[in-house]
Structure 1
Amino acid sequence: MKLLRRKKGPSLDSRLAALTEAVELGEGRLPGEAVAAARTVTERAGIRRRLSVEHTVAALAGATGSGKSSLFNVLAGEELSAVGVTRPTTATAQAALWDGEGAGPLLDWLEVPRRHSASSGDLSGLVLLDLPDHDSIRLAHRLEVDRLVELVDLLVWVLDPQKYADAAVHERYLRPLAGHQDVMVVVLNQIDRLPEAAVARCLGDLRRLLDEDGLTGVPIVGVSARTGAGLAELRVLLANRVSERRSWSARLAADVITAADHLAAASADGAVELVRVTDGMGAGRSELVRVDGQGAGRVELVRVAEGQGAGRLDRPLTAALSKAAGVPLVVAAVRKGHRHRAVIATGWPVTRWVRRFRPDPLRRLRIGVAAEREPVGHTSLPAASAVQRAQVETAIRDVGEAAATDLPQAWGAAVRRAARSREAELPDAVDRAVGRTSLRETRRPRWWRAVNVLQWLLFATMVAGAGWLGVLLGMDYLRLPQPPLPTAGELPWPTVLLAGGALAGVLVALLARLAAWLGGRRRARRAAKALHEAIGQVGQEYVLGPVDEELTRYDRFAEVIGIARA
């Protein structure tokens, strides 16, 4: 016969590390109560692992009159706990220790001051607690039970034939602890009060109730503290659990899984509840299922593909930011500014000075005013209009909504908040990007310098021709003898220099203006492309980046929750 082995899950260390990371990732995103409860589990687990792992702390818990104290005394082999008719009898928890050396710090942590040595039976390493009644009329007793139920390694629920179906124990303790069935034992005490046939019926009915609670694998032992019936079986069961030295780790693993389940439930949409699912061979597992009026389905945290939702909206976001930043105005200024500066740098020296009286389009916007290297302060672009601001807000909201698609409500809200988290910083960031990017389009081309040198040479030629002619006119006015006058063909050289220099200067200026007009168009196209890229990077850093970080955070949360719940 082939043995079927259950697949081994993650180690306790892996589960604890995963839950700890899930708590950190869920901080500020999930309800504080679920996060705080999970953090308490991780802290408690860390403390328990540092204390004695050679001892197993088992607690006898039950209702008033169930016979916990009597069973405690029988197992310990002596009268350690008072037994009486007056209720409640047990006021504070007390411990019986079998080979209890080294268990002091553990009991200090449990805050159990009353400790007794026990030697009855081969239960070395067992620390057995007798708890107050969970249904005590005194609130302090119930609180003490609730506190220790969360801390002990092994829970032994002592029920009696009269109240084993009491809703108080099933709804308050057993059902919520369905994930802890590996560290639970149920004892039906006082079976000596029932006829033999009724014992089997009670045990069968109790089995049914436990199965409904999701505790399919929890062992049930029928005992009588008065007659000793079933005590041998209970001792063997306790001895096996103690000898394995694994109850403490199984308890911590169950706590981690339950805390992870609650985090997953807090992260998931809709009403959820923890149920016990069994297979055909009787094995079972706890699962969270959603109950939303459309049927129940298993709650899973779906991992998000990288860049989901946000990437397809980067263009609308960039377009909205570009309009709000005045990119069309900057592009036009780059085109006009290039032509304006080109005329000043390459125009005819006789008339170029007139151009300086016209305002520089780029300087009016405070672009390229710091030695054309770095912008000084902010640009002087007009503020975005109300319509443009609304378009930006809409684009940011659309990014958040698209990225939050299919995410649980809590994480979707976190993604939408992330999209708006740096909205106030956008105007300054976009303004700086516009200034830096436009600045690169204000640099003077090298050919301007060459043309400028040529213009001044032509101007010097014209001045030389005019001066030569002036000298000749002066000599003629003074009736001085005229020197020989060289000619170029029929024209004298002074006239050629004067007219040629002027005509050539004007022609070079016209050609340079045509080149500047074409260059302005080219620079405007480059500026538009560069500005959109720069503003797109701002959108990536200030809007899409935080969204992607939040999606990555959720993706990691789903991954570690899966490890903790495996």
Structure 2
Amino acid sequence: MKLLRRKEGPTLDARLAALREAAALGEGRLSEQAVSGARTVAERAGARRELSLDHTVVALAGATGSGKSSLYNALAGQDLAAVGVTRPTTSTAQAALWDGAGAGPLLDWLDVPHRHSADGVAGLSGLVLLDLPDHDSIRLSHRLEVDRLVELVDLLVWVVDPQKYADAALHERYLRPLAGHRDVTVVVLNQVDRLPAGAAARCLDDLRHLLTGDGLTGVPLLAVSARTGQGLDELRTLLGDRVADRRSWSARLAADITAAADHLATAGPPEGSPGGAADGGGAKAMAGMERALSRALWAAAGVPVVVEAVAKGHRHRAVVATGWPVTRWLRRFRPDPLRRLRIGGATPEGRPDREIVARTSVPAATAGQRAQVDTAIRDVGEAAASGLPGPWAAAVRQAARSRAHDLIDAVDRVVATTSAGATRRPRWWRVVNVLQWLVFAGMVGGAGWLGVLFALDYLRLPQPPLPHVGMVPWPTVLLVGGALAGVLIALVSRLAAWAGGRRRARRASKALRGAIGKVGREFVLAPVEAELDAYACFMAAVELARA
């Protein structure tokens, strides 16, 4: 179905889609009344578009004794409605149709069972005129019927009389809330035949002033008399123009969409949710809060302890792998600093990429450290929520805390995973280990050689020729040289391990800083950014719906 399009601005379809999107984004963040109201408007607009666009539904609404039923009969050219003066006579809405072919589904949707043909009155083809119950009726069912149909019809004609045109109930309950519907509102001052000419003019001026105060500046204001026919031709002409234009239905829907979007934009938070807008910082403050969060998580995760253990653990394992074989076994009685923290032992050797499931034994965060983390999370939420409307500020702050209960465990897990690589053994350890064992074998060989020579001398047996290195025999060279070489290699390896431990600790510190920052972004900043994106989409949808 081809819809009416303004010369400028989005189509009605686009505005309806934007309103639905805004209502969906406001779910759980804004008051249920505003969200359900927007959805109701969207559903109502969608239903109205699918019904007859060749008919314009005009409702005559007014108070008891305003003469709207008399005006209804005068416009229809026949007595269709019972007329009363001091008490309501219209209990349910009834319709007069000009060329009513195809209007049945529309009236079924409006739930108006009483329908009359008014085809004898020319110039109003396509008009569906409703006579509503009195909005101030003593019967609640009458008032509810008026409220229901006022939200559905295409054009509202408010019929007032000289005695009650300033009635507060009319202005506060109906006219003022419909200030955004001025394009589909007409006000008729009926029964002017009862007033002298000067008094009628003063009533019109006063009524115009009241309408301006209601936000209905410029709405058509007509003076008529259903009894004498004064002003009826002008009213018929106005209705005929609106019916011929075929735009009242879209103007009504456009006004409804704008009103619903305005309500969403100014809606408060759901009942029971904290409200209030935050002031202050913006993007720079967010960046500062992110750094503060990383520092707080760094301390709470015990990273300084882990970094120190990486250096000490590297030196410990280096001594075990490259130390002098005679004494290195003593090192095995000392615990590995990383294994004591349950880091590196939870994954297969050489597979630090495997997921760490168990917690580490890093000392738990103190109450002060946890308080610092909570403060940093709160500061992130406050910085991100600065300048946002109350309900969205509350939603952003809640998003910052939404995964806080899992944050410490996630940091602990990432510390274990990231630090697991610190247990990898450098290749040079193997080379030095082989060299140590070769030197040790030479030392043992020299000791054994000397032992054989000692046995031969003890038994007074002839000794074989003994090779020398200068003045020193080879067995002594092997024994003493092997021992000295093993100790020297162990000392050099220990110096290399000390330097390697510092280097590995620096790498672990850098990797942990990045990994913890990533956890902070995933568990705190990502939900906040998602909420900010939702707010940006919400505002874009609201602006489109308002356009």
The bucket for the TM-score relative to the shorter chain is: over 0.9
For 1:29, the equivalent position in structure 2 comes to: 29
The root-mean-square deviation of aligned C-alpha atoms, in Å, is 2.1
For 2:250, the equivalent position in structure 1 comes to: 249
Shift of 1:257: 0.8
List aligned pairs for 1:395-406, cutoff 5 A: 395-406=376-387
Q: Which moved more, 1:514-523 or 1:95-104?
A: 95-104
The 1:376–1:497 alpha-carbon spacing in structure 2 relative to 1, beyond 3 Å, is: farther
Q: Which amino acid aligns with 1:436?
A: T
**C-alpha distance after superposition, 1:464-519 (max 9, x if no partner):** 22222233333434444322222222222222222222111110100000111111
Shift of 1:101: 2.0
Q: Which amino acid aligns with 2:540?
A: E
SS in 1 for 2:423: coil
**C-alpha distance after superposition, 1:392-441 (max 9, x if no partner):** 11111111122222222222211111111111001110011100111122
For 1:436, the equivalent position in structure 2 comes to: 417
Conserved? CA contact 2:65–2:84, under 8 Å: no
- Distance (whole Å) between structure 1 residues aligned to residue 303 and residue 202 of structure 2: 84
- Distance (whole Å) between structure 2 residues aligned to residue 376 and residue 113 of structure 1: 69
Q: Which of the residues 301, 323, 329 maps onto 1:347?
A: 323
List aligned pairs for 1:471-490, cutoff 5 A: 471-490=452-471
Q: Size of the alignment, in residue pairs?
A: 528
Q: Which of the residues 436, 458, 483 maps onto 2:439?
A: 458
SS in 1 for 2:266: helix
Q: Which moved more, 1:246-255 or 1:547-556?
A: 547-556
Normalising to structure 1: TM-score of the pair?
0.89
SS in 2 for 1:310: helix
Residue 562 in structure 1 maps to residue 538 in structure 2:
no
- Distance (whole Å) between structure 1 residues aligned to residue 127 and residue 377 of structure 2: 61
For 2:394, the equivalent position in structure 1 comes to: 413
Conserved? CA contact 1:344–1:352, under 8 Å: yes
Shift of 1:100: 1.7
List aligned pairs for 1:105-124, cutoff 5 A: 105-119=105-119, 120-124=121-125
**C-alpha distance after superposition, 1:128-151 (max 9, x if no partner):** 110000111111101110111011
Q: Which amino acid aligns with 2:161?
A: D
Shift of 1:189: 1.5
Conserved? CA contact 2:56–2:243, under 8 Å: yes
List aligned pairs for 1:259-278, cutoff 5 A: 259-266=260-267
- Distance (whole Å) between structure 2 residues aligned to residue 165 and residue 539 of structure 1: 61
Shift of 1:11: 2.4
Conserved? CA contact 2:281–2:386, under 8 Å: no
Conserved? CA contact 2:70–2:81, under 8 Å: yes
Conserved? CA contact 1:98–1:127, under 8 Å: yes
SS in 1 for 2:95: strand
Q: Which amino acid aligns with 2:409?
A: D
For 1:393, the equivalent position in structure 2 comes to: 374
For 2:137, the equivalent position in structure 1 comes to: 136
For 1:338, the equivalent position in structure 2 comes to: 314
Conserved? CA contact 1:98–1:124, under 8 Å: yes
SS in 2 for 1:207: helix
Shift of 1:241: 1.0
- Distance (whole Å) between structure 2 residues aligned to residue 181 and residue 86 of structure 1: 30
**C-alpha distance after superposition, 1:70-114 (max 9, x if no partner):** 111122222211113462110100111122222222211211111
Conserved? CA contact 2:357–2:413, under 8 Å: no
Q: Which amino acid aligns with 1:496?
A: V
**C-alpha distance after superposition, 1:308-327 (max 9, x if no partner):** 64222112111111111111
Normalising to structure 2: TM-score of the pair?
0.92
Structure 1 residue runs of 5 or longer lacking an equivalent are 1-5, 269-300
Conserved? CA contact 1:182–1:217, under 8 Å: no
Conserved? CA contact 1:52–1:103, under 8 Å: yes
Q: Which amino acid aligns with 1:326?
A: G
Residue 532 in structure 1 maps to residue 513 in structure 2:
yes
Structure 2 residue runs of 5 or longer lacking an equivalent are 1-5, 270-276
**C-alpha distance after superposition, 1:189-209 (max 9, x if no partner):** 122222233333322222222
Q: Which amino acid aligns with 1:31?
A: S
SS in 2 for 1:129: strand
Shift of 1:62: 0.6
For 1:39, the equivalent position in structure 2 comes to: 39
List aligned pairs for 1:280-429, cutoff 5 A: 307=283, 309-369=285-345, 370-372=347-349, 373=352, 374=354, 375-429=356-410
- Distance (whole Å) between structure 1 residues aligned to residue 61 and residue 328 of structure 2: 101
- Distance (whole Å) between structure 1 residues aligned to residue 11 and residue 213 of structure 2: 29
Q: Which amino acid aligns with 2:448?
A: G
Shift of 1:307: 4.5
Q: Which moved more, 1:91-100 or 1:456-465?
A: 456-465
Q: Which amino acid aligns with 2:190?
A: N
The 1:355–1:376 alpha-carbon spacing in structure 2 relative to 1, beyond 3 Å, is: farther
Shift of 1:306: 8.1
For 1:548, the equivalent position in structure 2 comes to: 529
List aligned pairs for 1:6-85, cutoff 5 A: 8-85=8-85
The 1:308–1:13 alpha-carbon spacing in structure 2 relative to 1, beyond 3 Å, is: farther
SS in 2 for 1:57: strand
Residue 518 in structure 1 maps to residue 499 in structure 2:
yes
Q: Which moved more, 1:496-505 or 1:198-207?
A: 198-207
- Distance (whole Å) between structure 2 residues aligned to residue 151 and residue 307 of structure 1: 45
- Distance (whole Å) between structure 2 residues aligned to residue 133 and residue 455 of structure 1: 107
Q: Which moved more, 1:21-30 or 1:328-337?
A: 21-30
**C-alpha distance after superposition, 1:24-70 (max 9, x if no partner):** 22222222222222222112112212222222111000111111111
Q: Which amino acid aligns with 2:34?
A: A
The 1:7–1:49 alpha-carbon spacing in structure 2 relative to 1, beyond 3 Å, is: closer
Conserved? CA contact 1:309–1:405, under 8 Å: no
Conserved? CA contact 2:282–2:384, under 8 Å: no
Task: Quote the sequence identity (%).
Answer: 73
Conserved? CA contact 1:307–1:548, under 8 Å: no
Conserved? CA contact 1:309–1:404, under 8 Å: no
